[in-house]
């Protein structure tokens, strides 16, 4: 069970991993205030100041700031949830930082005097005013970072949901083509019980795989091992083999690591649909299709090759709708880390997909 959950988390991470989503409050809180302590420590070690008030105010700043901002976190969360307009939020943060800076400084000075340590009082010298401004500026920076990170995370989540919705929409455009072809094939061979049984079983196995992808998407598992889709595509090719008979010949060559690579749904199917559709137009009598997959230098290299020659098309139809959709999905999921290229010679056309290889453990 633990291994399965680990693999599901790995699959969920395929959709553009963002650094911001891994930022959590407490590591930033502890690290930020600890880093702030480096400055007075450096000044002290360098012999920059020996004044007792400086030592107390400087070294008490980290613990008092940590305690104050930790206590502020629930209130800031409620303010963020209220979705205040920036014209109200920003002035409010400035005023709050000034008030809180004054309160924190007064509390620090009072505690210092109670402990018998030297600490400035209001209006006693310039150190008090400087300390107040510095504290207020640090608190304002903390508030801006808190709300800025929260806003950025909200934006990234909205963008991620948009990406998932668009990926589902683009993927859904693939299934009707296969269903139409399968049903047409069943009608064509309806008098041959063995072929009808083969096509029906292959169709059922493919639909089972497709339904599993939809269930995974509901729980935000964005990928599956390439081997799962290859198995589903073998059912696809069995249907097409019944449809075309001896006029179709296909082969598969996939390395073990390639089969364990996590890939987005409907990666291979549009490549096969394109190979069959456009290969029919230019291939000799027997349409030959080959699928190869290997992991090269941490990238999955997937190629679908069909016999025939390249037909230059206008931009509206270049590469087919399926390939244009696949390009768009790869861009949404991987950004510039993935590519889809079309290579053609005198007698073959090859569509090559390269994407980062993340292996299932």
Per the model's pLDDT, the better-predicted residue between 144 and 9 turns out to be 144
pLDDT at 53 over 80: no
Per the model's pLDDT, the better-predicted residue between 258 and 161 turns out to be 258
- Percent pLDDT > 90 in the chain is 27
Identify which of 40-44, 91-95, 155-159, 269-273 has the greatest average pLDDT.
91-95
> Region 80-91: what's the mean pLDDT?
91
pLDDT at 199: 85
Nearest to 217 by CA among 170, 260, 168: 168
- Using the 8-state DSSP alphabet, how is residue 359 labeled? B
16: pLDDT confidence band, cut at 50, 70 and 90? very low
Least confident of 7-11, 176-180, 340-344: 7-11
pLDDT at 17: 47
pLDDT at 128: 77
DSSP for 290-351 reads EEEEEEETTEEEEEEEEES------TTTTTHHHHHHHHHHHHHHHGGG-EEEEEE-SSEEEE
* Contact criterion met (CB below 8 Å) for 136 and 93: no
- Percent pLDDT > 70 in the chain is 77
Element (H, E) at 167: helix 126-172
CATH: 3.30.565.10, 3.40.30.10, 3.30.379.10, 3.40.50.2300. Which one for 173-356?
A: 3.30.565.10
Residue whose tokens read 């997937």:
302
Distances (CA, A) of 303 to 171, 262, 271, 351, 354: 19, 16, 9, 6, 9
Identify which of 192-201, 243-252, 280-289, 347-356 has the greatest average pLDDT.
347-356
pLDDT at 40 over 60: yes
- Using the 8-state DSSP alphabet, how is residue 88 labeled? H
Per the model's pLDDT, the better-predicted residue between 239 and 11 turns out to be 239
- Could you tell me the residue ranges of all domains in the chain? 18-159, 173-356
> Region 118-128: what's the mean pLDDT?
63
Least confident of 2-16, 50-64, 248-262, 294-308: 2-16
DSSP for 174-243 reads THHHHHHHHHHHHHHTTT-HHHHHHHHHHHHHHHHHHHHHHHHHHTT---EEHHHHHHHHHHHHHHHHHH
The Cα–Cα gap between 263 and 301 comes to 12
pLDDT at 331 over 60: yes
> Region 188-213: what's the mean pLDDT?
83
pLDDT at 50: 56
> Region 2-6: what's the mean pLDDT?
47
The Cα–Cα gap between 302 and 338 comes to 11
pLDDT at 100: 94
pLDDT at 103 over 60: yes
- How high does pLDDT run on average in the chain? 80
Per the model's pLDDT, the better-predicted residue between 163 and 263 turns out to be 263
> Region 207-234: what's the mean pLDDT?
76
> Region 125-141: what's the mean pLDDT?
85
Least confident of 44-58, 87-101, 257-271: 44-58
Q: CB count, 10 Å around CB of 164?
A: 16
pLDDT in tens, 175-189: 666 678 778 888 888
The model's pTM:
0.58
């Amino acid at each position: 069970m633990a291994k399965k959950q680990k693999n599901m988390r790995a699959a969920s991470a395929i959709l553009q991993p963002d650094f911001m989503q891994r930022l959590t409050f407490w590591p930033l809180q502890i690290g930020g205030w600890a880093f702030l302590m480096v400055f007075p420590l450096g000044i002290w070690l360098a012999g920059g100041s020996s004044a007792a008030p400086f030592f107390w105010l400087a070294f008490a700043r980290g613990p008092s700031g940590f305690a104050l901002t930790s206590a502020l976190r629930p209130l800031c969360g409620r303010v963020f949830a209220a979705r205040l307009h920036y014209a109200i939020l920003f002035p409010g943060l400035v005023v709050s930082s000034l008030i809180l800076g004054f309160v924190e400084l007064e509390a620090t000075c009072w505690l210092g005097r109670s402990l018998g340590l030297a600490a400035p009082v209001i209006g006693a010298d310039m150190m008090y005013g400087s300390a107040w401004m510095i504290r207020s500026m640090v608190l304002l920076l903390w508030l801006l970072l808190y709300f800025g990170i929260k806003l950025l995370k909200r934006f990234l989540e909205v963008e991620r949901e948009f990406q998932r919705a668009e990926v589902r929409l683009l993927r859904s455009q693939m299934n009707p083509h296969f269903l139409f072809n399968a049903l047409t094939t069943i009608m064509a061979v309806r008098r041959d019980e063995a072929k009808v049984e083969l096509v029906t079983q292959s169709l059922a196995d493919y639909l089972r795989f497709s339904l599993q992808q939809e269930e995974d998407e509901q729980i935000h598992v964005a990928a599956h091992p390439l081997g799962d889709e290859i198995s589903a595509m073998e059912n696809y090719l069995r249907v097409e083999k019944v449809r075309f008979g001896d006029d179709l010949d296909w082969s598969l060559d996939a390395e073990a690591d390639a089969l364990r690579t996590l890939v987005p749904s409907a990666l291979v199917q549009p490549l096969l649909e394109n190979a069959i559709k456009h290969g029919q137009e230019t291939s000799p009598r027997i349409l030959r299709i080959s699928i190869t997959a290997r992991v090269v230098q941490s990238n999955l290299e997937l190629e679908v090759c069909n016999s025939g020659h390249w037909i230059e098309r206008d931009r509206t139809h270049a590469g087919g709708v399926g390939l244009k959709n696949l390009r768009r999905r790869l861009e949404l999921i991987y950004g510039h880390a993935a590519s889809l290229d079309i290579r053609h010679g005198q007698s073959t056309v090859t569509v090559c997909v390269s994407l980062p290889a993340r292996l299932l453990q």
